[in-house]
Structure 1
Amino acid sequence: MAEDLPVLVVGATGFLGGQVVDELLKRGKKVRALVRPKSNAAKLEAKGVEIARGDMLDAASLVTAMTGVSAAISTAAGYTRNDKNAKAIDTFGNSNLAVAAKHARVPRFVLISIVTSDQTPQIPHFWNKKLAEDKFEELGVPFVALRPGAFFDQAVGMGGDPFEKGRFVWLGSKDARLTFVLASDVAAYLAEAVDADIVEGERIDIGWSRPLSIHEAAELAGRRAGKQVKVVSIPSGAIAALGKVTSKVLPLVADMASMVAWFETGKYVADTTRQEQVFGPPPTPEDAIARVAERYGH
């Protein structure tokens, strides 16, 4: 029976993928993880996760990994790894996932995408997510795409406890409102989407109950920490200038500059109507920031 088959997680050794694995296990699911041949899978094995060795750039290994699963979830993103295969992973790799899913007849594929990815051809890693969605649809693979906003906990947590340090480091405008999410919430939604009542091919925006600026987020954080939390911002113009200089050596910077410019348009905002229908009321910024503070012991 389908419930006895494992759910495959692509990207299980990553920041988000590891949390997806835990969410699936919490729900009583069997889990299979796609792990690259040289990656250490000991932590996953200790949790009882089945290991399938393979790579997104090796289509045959993907077919093998997807054979006999009840569903598959991909959190893989070359952009965040910024290694030599980053572009290939986000293009050929995602295409390979769709082709393999079709060959293996995966009943449902849950794909992580990005809010407004279909509006932003000028941002490579956004647009690649949109192209991945299109590839699954073109091949007739049963899929759903969750489109979260910016990962707040990752953004403010680089470099240690931002509440203790009393500062958030940010890129671009302090006052531009945008959609944020917490990785832990997105992981829970991805796991839930395996069985959720969702129309195949749906793209669902994921966010908090309202957009807010990083300055507003810092004010909420300050109230929680009982101290002022400042925002240290790198101007978008400086990022754009650096992106032009390093475009051939570090294309990631130019990509980032385009993303920051998009944030500043005020259009990077989720429509959480469908999120609420499928997964329940979106978290409020107050609740989400309080949970981040608790993780740091505040």
Structure 2
Amino acid sequence: MTLLIVGATGTLGRQVARRAIDEGYKVRCLVRSAKRAAFLREWGAELVGGDLCYPETVQRALEGVTAVIDAATARPTDSLSIKQIDWDSKVALIQAANKACVERFITFSILNADKYPDVPLMEIKRCTELYLAESGLNYTVLQLAGFMQGLIGQYGIPILEGQPVWVTGASSPVAYMDTQDIAKFAVRALQLPETSKKAFPVVGTRAWSAEEIISVCERLSGKTARVTRMPINLLRTVRGSLRFFQWGWNVSDRLAFTEVLASGKPLDASMDEVYKVFGFDVSETTTLESYFQEYFNRIMKKLKELDYEKNKSKNKKQQPKRTPFKKANTQ
């Protein structure tokens, strides 16, 4: 089976590629920059130059492909809008996959996307799920809540460095999941006929509020967090102001997602049936506490090593200089 992975250089996509390669799939990755994706070639993937926003390049990448795993999504650094990347390009990808007679199509959405019609990204994900369901493709949708990897920059690093940790509104508990675990579900879906033309929640072992995550980080790091709360009404005002300027539309759309994270409603779902269908054991899923424990252990070990090297260098400088000549004895 030849598998095309779209978005393979991203946080989730690279884990999907790694998992698929390890399981023996022939992996092809659609990439915009071969230099940036060099690590994928080193892992054993075939790189095909192209851009999701240019359908003709996608069509070439799909030649001889049996299945597609689409892990692409808009990033904060992208110049294009959420609509252009998460809707226009996804519709084109689905159409191209249909034309190429792809046998399996795996993609990712967001849990509870249908409950937030006023949040652009959520509404786009909902519409994409509907479009895919009507496409005729043999698809599987995995509905995610959030990545544990994103929590390091949001909580771990600021707490270690004594920087402010920003919390918005009534923090919604989120069932974050390690991207390596999400990748396991995505690759396994290729092998399971019972996942065909269905959507499944794929979330962590429990939902965590911002306050609970901060408490875990404080306990594991031995440091106290500087928590700064951002009023949700202020963000709404900023978002409304940005809508008056075309250059601000993309930022405004991203700020809208804070409505989800500050609603107080848990972003979580039962995974009991999902584990049965996919044949996984929940005990093998990374917990948020164990994820942070490994992170802080690694950081603390590195800091100790740096401190040791610093002290060693300092002591060496303080030692008196020795002359290469022996002092002559005088009698």
TM-score (norm 2): 0.79
Say if 2:113 and 2:125, in contact at 8 Å, map to a contact too: yes
The answer for the alignment partner of 1:256 in structure 2 is 254
- List runs of 5+ in structure 1 lacking aligned partners: none
1:134 aligns with 2:130: yes
Q: 1:232 to 1:192 in 2, by over 3 A?
A: farther
Rate the CA distance shift 1:233–1:253 in 2: closer, same or farther, 3 A: farther
Deviation at 1:295, TM superposition (A): 5.3
Aligned residue in 2 for 1:173: 169
- Three-state SS of the structure 1 residue aligned to 2:264 is coil
Which structure has the greater CA radius of gyration?
2
Most deviating of 154-163 and 93-102: 154-163
Cα deviation code 1:91-122 (max 9, x no counterpart): 11010111111111211111011111122221
Report the CA distance shift for 1:171/1:260 in structure 2 as closer, same or farther (over 3 A): farther
Contact 1:156–1:170 (Cα < 8 Å) also in 2: no
User: Aligned to 2:98, which of 87, 95, 102?
Assistant: 102
Cα RMSD for the two superposed structures = 2.6
CA drift at 1:89: 1.5
User: How many angstroms apart in 2 are the aligned matches of 1:199 and 1:184?
Assistant: 20
Contact 1:239 1:253 in 2 (8 A): no
Query: Percent of pairs identical after alignment?
Result: 26
Are 2:217 and 1:221 equivalent residues in the alignment?
A: yes
Q: Does structure 2 conserve the Cα–Cα contact (< 8 Å) formed by 1:115 and 1:269?
A: yes
Deviates more, 1:279-288 or 1:94-103: 279-288
1:53 equivalent to 2:33? Answer no
Q: Deviations over 1:100-155 (max 9, x none)?
A: 11111211111011111122221111221222221211111111111111223214
Give the equivalent residue in structure 1 for 2:85: 89
> Quick check: 2:3–2:68 contact (8 Å CA) kept in 1?
yes
CA deviation map 1:252-298 (0-9, x unaligned) = 33323332222233334221324332243154432343344345456
SS of the counterpart of 1:254? helix
Letter in 2 for 1:66: L
Residue 117 in structure 1 maps to residue 120 in structure 2? no
Distance 1:268 1:131, change over 3 A: farther
Cα deviation per residue 1:144-182 (whole Å; 9 max; x = unaligned)? 111111223214415973452256733413643233223
Please name the residue that 2:237 is paired with.
241
Q: What is the count of residue pairs matched by the alignment? A: 294
| Aligned mates of 1:103, 1:288 — CA distance in 2 | 41
- What amino acid is the match of 2:97? A
Structure 1 residues 294 and 138, CA, compared in 2 at 3 Å: closer, same or farther?
A: farther
Q: Secondary structure at the match of 2:169?
A: coil
User: Partners of 1:182 and 1:174 in 2: how far apart?
Assistant: 24
Equivalent residue number for residue 186 of structure 1: 182
Paired residue for 2:296? Answer: 293
The one-letter code matched in structure 2 to 1:30 is: K
Which SS does the other structure have where 1:113 is aligned?
A: strand
Alpha-carbon distance in 2 for matches of 1:18, 1:83: 22
Q: Which amino acid aligns with 2:259?
A: A
Amino acid at match of 1:293: F
Q: Quote the Cα distance in structure 1 between the aligned partners of 2:20 and 2:250.
A: 32
Q: Specify every segment of 5 or more residues in structure 2 that has no aligned partner in the other structure, as ranges.
A: 302-331
TM-score (norm 1): 0.86
Amino acid at match of 1:290: Q
Classify 1:293/1:202 alpha carbon distance in 2 versus 1 (closer, same or farther; 3 Å).
farther
Q: Shift of the alpha carbon at 1:75?
A: 1.1
Does the CA-based 8 Å contact 1:9-1:17 persist in structure 2? yes
Aligned-pair distance for 1:188?
3.1
* CA distance in structure 2 between the partners assigned to 1:198 and 1:252 by the alignment: 38
Q: Distance in 1 between matches of 2:300 and 2:274?
A: 30
Q: CA deviation at 1:251?
A: 2.2
Query: What's 2:25 paired with?
Result: 29
